[in-house]
Copies of this chain bind each other. A is one copy, B any other.
Amino acid sequence: MSNTATDSSETTARHNEKMKRIKAARDKMMAGKTEEKGLIIVHTGTGKGKSSSGFGMIMRCIAWGMPCAVVQFIKGTWETGEKRLLQAHFAGECRFFVSGEGFTWETQDRDRDVAAARNGWEIAKQQILDPRIRFVLLDEINIALRYDYLDIDEVVDFLLTQKPPMTHVCLTGRNARPELIEAADLVTEMSLLKHPFRDGVKAQKGVEF
């Protein structure tokens, strides 16, 4: 801030004027957005934040009194912080189901993986259809879809035709199928710009799990 007083107050005046214009444009835009609907949400990409952002939304639902459910498709055997916290504190607000037995390279048994994924999908359908549940997180389901443990057409068809209109469903995992992206309302790709694993740093509590 090495401006003279005059420069600085000019800058401030210009800034305030610009913000006024932005606010007017934004207010106008937001006034047209009146619809509420249950969304099909996809978090994909190779970056971090796909699951943690899903769990951040679960936290928001719990805060607003919206009953919710999590089905974990792949990370089943991991002891994650999110599982610990939800089971210990919010078992009434958020149902928590585990269908997978670890990432697929851990089991090395395709038939077992397919059975676990199908089991998870049956639970997922029940939760989505349950009229009390407002938000369902299908964590890492994209991995199960990518390896054809689950049929992509069946999943997309169910979401488009049987999901109650006000229920949100969030599907996470890298390599989301194009059919799912096409069907979704809100798709975010998390990309890795930098990762400390490259420098020999291991997965750490609080950050990765």
Binding site for B on A (CB under 8 A): 11-12, 15-16, 19-20, 22-23, 26, 30, 32-37, 39, 41-43, 45, 47-57, 59-64, 66, 68, 80-82, 84-85, 88-89, 104-111, 134-135, 147, 168, 181, 184-197, 199-207, 209
The answer to whether residues A108 and B16 also contact, given A59-B55, A205-B60 and a CB cut-off of 8 A, is: yes
Contact A60 B52 (CB under 8 A): yes
The chain B residue sitting closest to A80, CB to CB, is B60
User: Would A186 and B194 be within 8 Å (CB), given that A51-B56, A89-B89, A207-B39 are in contact?
Assistant: yes
A205 to B104, CA, bound (A): 34
Q: Which residue of B lies closest to A41 (CB)?
A: B207
